[in-house]
Amino acid sequence: MQINKISTTNKFINFKANFFTVQKRGKYFYHTAISTDNQENLGKEPVLIYEKEGEKYEIPMVYDGKFYTTQSSVSTNKYRIFYKDTGKYEKGGIEQVINPLKFIKTATIEDRKYNRLPLEQAISKGEVKGKVYVNTFDIPKDVPAILILNEIEKEEDVILTDIPKNVKSIIVSSAKMGVLDHIANLTRNKYQVFSIVWDDNKFNDLKNQEGKYLSINNEREILEYKEIGISELTTENVNSVSSSAITPPKLENVERLLNFDELTPQNCGNKGYRISLMQKLVRNGILKDINIPKGFVIPEGYVNKYIEYLNVDDKEEWKKRIKEGIYYQDTENKIKELGLSRNGLIIRSNYNTEDLNSFSSAGIYESISVYDFGSIIDKAVYDVIGGEHLRLSDMAKKVHTKYGINEKDIQPSVIVQERIYPYYEYTLYTDDGDNNIIIDLSDNSLGYMKPANALIKYNKKTKELTLERKQSPLASYLFDEKGNIINQEHPTDKITENWNILTPFLSILTSGALVLEKFFKHPQDIEGGISKDGKVYFWQTRDIVAKAVKKI
């Protein structure tokens, strides 16, 4: 990651110790750099050293004319600075301890203030009553609970962690989560109320409610709460948004590659079949000015035959079959037949558990981008689904357990699809629970992290398209050793700059989204992009599962 050497452009900053850079790319902040003024003049070749999981790391520091700064991003909270040319350590070699999460939270608060956003975000909106617990999972099972947690380092912790089922609501002081993220969708299915509260005064007041019974409501974005008596609690299901067990559909055994126009729910499953349906809607002129990336499906039966084909003892023969065998040639011929480029393909999971009407598995399975190397079939079978042993993430395993999905019922296949490199990428919900389409739009000039820096609304009734909430897509914050912000920069974002250019494409996008909502007779969760040459793409659509259809 490129380090923004903000220090060289601000002549009024004079450091007497180390300082720290926190950068924002899209909606997320990253602790990216550590710098020193080398006031003690200990040498000219400093490196930052630290240990992580028993491994030692050494990061070079580069001189910008005034300060030395780590050359690459840093992910540590303990470090020392060593001068290789003199063998000396800064500060007597005492290990320095910092709190990157605290820096990130402070930067988040400052950034939201800069963009006139509230210091709260409602991920799952609703109203609940329960007893308040703080930073503990030791919660009696017979009481509806409201759990207050300090910042979570990984957003998936709210799903992966063994949080008791009777927790109806979670309030956290910091989290990397946007309203249309895949993890947010899962969160809405699990909790009736989920809010991020960056305001320290309000969050501390919530923590002070420990042991009390509260009624809380965040339907207007801002969390409101009041104390109630225990008599106001009911014996209703304390986690009423939980879903019943899911039985995945049994798919046919197909031992050949399938084109999109051959796909059915029986031979492929819903994810691939919905791509096929979108393709037909485009072909029939119903889905206008929308493009669907080309591709094909490698079904489970074909995958199993490939694994069987590779079951040979001779290592050289095994390698030859991967690189030159009949399955290699088969997939290569299909790529040529469809006019796909090996320099830009994406291989996506296509399980029989995906995109069901009653179950959203968004974001829990694997997808990879591949370029002109190796065997596509080998990448698809082993890198995406794990071959004969399913490679399921911790997230997938937890979600399967939650919905009672038996691993023996899972049938994996893969979609091989042309990869589009859009200028803008988006996730779209055709209904936010308030008769609006909402679009989480990413400016991909910011890099591979697909940062979403704008929330756009289209009112279905008034036909108005508005830039509802803007965030700084890029920002840089400098902290001193005490955690104080001493400088910040906010470059202009391209979505605001190019709004008039973007609106015709967003009009095409919203019109197409309404077509899909009508066709599937259900609100849709759509993913796609807008390319450099102005083409609007849909590459996936799924039902917003019924339990997640609520105000967003």
pLDDT of residue 491: 81
Q: What does the mean pLDDT of the chain come to?
A: 85
Contact partners, residue 89, CB within 8 Å, separation at least 6? 42, 80, 81, 82, 83
Residue 17 has pLDDT above 80, yes or no: no
Q: What is the pLDDT of residues 281-336, one digit of tens each?
A: 999 999 999 999 999 999 999 999 999 999 999 989 988 998 889 999 999 999 99
Confidence of residue 50 (pLDDT cuts 50, 70, 90): very high
pLDDT of residue 421: 87
Q: What is the rounded distance in angstroms from the CA atom of residue 259 to the CA atom of residue 274? A: 13
Residue 26 has pLDDT above 80, yes or no: no
Q: What is the mean predicted confidence (pLDDT) over 138-148?
A: 90
Contact assessment for residue 444 and residue 474, using Cβ atoms and an 8 Å cutoff? no
Q: What is the mean predicted confidence (pLDDT) over 21-31?
A: 80
Helix axes 300-309, 326-337, angle to 10 degrees: 140
CA separation (Å) from 278 to 294, 500, 525? 11, 28, 14
**Alpha-helical runs (H) found in 355-422:** 376-378, 394-402
Residue in the structure block whose two tokens are 């074909």: 302
What ranges make up the beta strands (E) of 37-126?
46-52, 55-63, 68-70, 78-83, 88-89, 96-97, 120-124
Q: What is the pLDDT of residues 385-442, one digit of tens each?
A: 888 888 887 778 878 887 788 888 889 999 999 999 888 989 999 998 889 999 988 8
Among candidate residues 178, 121, 168, 126, the one with its CA nearest the CA of residue 148: 168
pLDDT of residue 432: 87
Q: What is the mean predicted confidence (pLDDT) over 473-498?
A: 85
**Alpha-helical runs (H) found in 338-468:** 376-378, 394-402
Q: What is the pLDDT of residues 120-139, one digit of tens each?
A: 989 888 899 999 999 988 89
pLDDT of residue 449: 52
Contact partners, residue 85, CB within 8 Å, separation at least 6? 43, 44, 45
Q: What is the mean predicted confidence (pLDDT) over 264-289?
A: 94
**SS3 at position 40:** coil
Contact assessment for residue 247 and residue 353, using Cβ atoms and an 8 Å cutoff? no
pLDDT of residue 549: 47
Which string of b and e fits 206-242 if b means at least 16 CB within 10 Å? bbebeeebbbbbbbeebbebeeeeeeebeeeebbebe
pLDDT of residue 10: 39
Instruction: List strands edge to edge, sheet with 258-259.
Output: 258-259, 295-298, 414-418, 345-349, 367-370
Q: What is the rounded distance in angstroms from the CA atom of residue 15 to the CA atom of residue 68? A: 12
Confidence of residue 172 (pLDDT cuts 50, 70, 90): very high
Q: What is the pLDDT of residues 63-119, one digit of tens each?
A: 988 889 998 888 788 999 999 999 999 988 999 988 888 888 899 899 888 888 889
pLDDT: is 260 or 408 the higher one? 260
pLDDT of residue 452: 54
Residue 170 has pLDDT above 70, yes or no: yes
Q: DSSP letter for 408, please.
A: G
| Count of other CB atoms within 10 angstroms of residue 447 | 12
